[in-house]
Amino acid sequence: MTRWAPEDPSFWQSTGKRVATRNLWIAVPALLVAFVVWQVWSITATNLKDVGFGFSQSQLFWLTAIPGVTGGTARVFYTFLGPMVGQRRFTALSTLVLIVPLLWLGFAVQDPQTSYGTMVAIAALCGIGGANFSSSLANIGFFYPKKEKGNATGINGGLGNLGVSVVQLLTPILITSSVLAIGAGQKKANGSEIYLQNAAFVWVPVVIVLAAVAWFGQNDLKVASTPFSQQKIIFRRKHNWLMTWLYIGTFGSFIGFAAALPLLIKTTFPAYSVATYAWMGPALGALARWAGGWIADKLGGARVTILSFAGMGASIIGVINFLPGGSDSGSFHGFFLCFLAAFFFSGIGNGSTFRQIPVIFRGQHLKGLTEGTPQYAAALKQAEIESGAVTGFTAGIAAYGFFFIPAMFANFAVTSAMWGFVAFYASCVVVAWWFYARPGAEAPS
């Protein structure tokens, strides 16, 4: 589409809203399935030892962490590639390539002799599913006017994030279904049979359909078509780095806890079912993201962001107090409820930070300019370009939380890792208040 003016009320009502809505609701399921691929190892890893794979507990934590490295790195590239290629085409192609790790994983888990190196390679490829988030969120931001960006990105990101819960909820069901199985089942020590390949194979036709729907149903916006030379300026913008710091705290926590929680439950409270509980936290966090974007549109992003970090810090302190230690067996229900609260506040912060980004960059670029002038129009376009790039870049760096949180649990005592998270959240409160929320803040948002 060569003309796109969502801030023009007549254009928005006659054309823009309809087109934006269609693109949003195609983007949501495509992003959800991308998250399924990204997170499939969080449940698959918990079943490998049961069917004869001789991997250590530390190796299993690493398998859940590795997709975070490739996902975060690929997100940075996807941020800039989407606007260069065209988001319709890029959404379709980046969805279609997810078939490769799904097929490879489906065949590999059927043979307990599959090497650990092969499993690492598959986990790394599954990480590219997480990269779709950056291109998708940056793209949807272009379609909506300022007053609706928080809600739109909250819907896209929040419902897309539900892929984490979908994979953790459905995988235990899918792997016990012989009806869906392609290939032989795997015997557990208790004599029962499961079909780990189902966790991967069942999504292949879904990926193909969603890629086709994106190809034929979405739009490329000329206004969003941007060469890298115009996007790379964000690396010189202070607020790019500050918002990256904050988003590491919100989304990095959400995705890292989602990846680590199944194994954390299994190793810390082995009497409780991973399948029953693990999916609930990510589901709550994903839905809270939607609410966070909407609330931030009403109350201001910075205030909501500060609230989210305060809540996350308090929640993790609660988790620490309920962990087993010494002769104390701990309390699973206290541990789990506090983790649910941490997911909830991380979701709220995910929505509010992404609402802050376009507000900050509009404020910086339009300061002192008169609406309706050529200078104002040029500054507004540059603000949109930079907002999209910053949204994708911050999402890319924050995705490393997927790697670092499971890696910290693999290498440090759980309690020590948790206190490190609390200290980080305190630093985020300071950054958000000083630069964005206090009276006279440099970039109120």
Structure tokens at 55: 């991997």
pLDDT beyond 80 at 227: no
Domain assignment present for 238: yes
pLDDT beyond 80 at 141: no
Domain assignment present for 314: yes
pLDDT greater at residue 407 or residue 363: 363
Structure tokens at 86: 């065209």
pLDDT greater at residue 222 or residue 98: 98
Confidence of residue 421 (pLDDT cuts 50, 70, 90): very high
Residue 28, domain extent: 9-437
Structure tokens at 197: 């390949």
pLDDT beyond 90 at 204: yes
Q: How many domains is the chain partitioned into structurally?
A: 1
Domain assignment present for 4: no
pLDDT beyond 80 at 228: no
The predicted pLDDT at position 20 comes to 93
Confidence of residue 332 (pLDDT cuts 50, 70, 90): very high
Cα separation of 295 and 340, whole Å? 20
Domain assignment present for 430: yes
Cα separation of 43 and 304, whole Å? 32
Q: What is the CATH number of the domain that holds 145?
A: 1.20.1250.20
Helix (H) or strand (E) holding 35, with range, is helix 17-48
Domain assignment present for 42: yes
The predicted pLDDT at position 23 comes to 93
Confidence of residue 124 (pLDDT cuts 50, 70, 90): very high
The predicted pLDDT at position 183 comes to 81
The predicted pLDDT at position 72 comes to 86
Confidence of residue 327 (pLDDT cuts 50, 70, 90): confident
User: Which ranges of 274-368 does DSSP label H, i.e. alpha helix?
Assistant: 274-277, 280-299, 301-322, 332-366
Domain assignment present for 45: yes
pLDDT beyond 90 at 161: no
Provide the sign of the torsion angle of the four alpha carbons 185, 187, 193, 199, taken in this order: negative
Cα separation of 349 and 357, whole Å? 12
pLDDT greater at residue 121 or residue 82: 121
Cα separation of 315 and 29, whole Å? 30
434: left (phi over 0), alpha (psi -120 to 50) or beta: alpha
pLDDT beyond 80 at 131: yes
Domain assignment present for 443: no
Chain segment 28-78, per-residue pLDDT in tens = 999 999 999 998 988 888 889 888 898 888 888 888 888 988 988 898 888
Cα separation of 248 and 243, whole Å? 8
Confidence of residue 226 (pLDDT cuts 50, 70, 90): confident
pLDDT beyond 90 at 291: no
Domain assignment present for 30: yes
The predicted pLDDT at position 61 comes to 80
Cα separation of 264 and 42, whole Å? 11
In angstroms, what CA-CA distances link 385 with 67, 89, 240, 379?
28, 19, 13, 10
pLDDT beyond 90 at 405: no
pLDDT greater at residue 184 or residue 252: 252
The predicted pLDDT at position 69 comes to 87
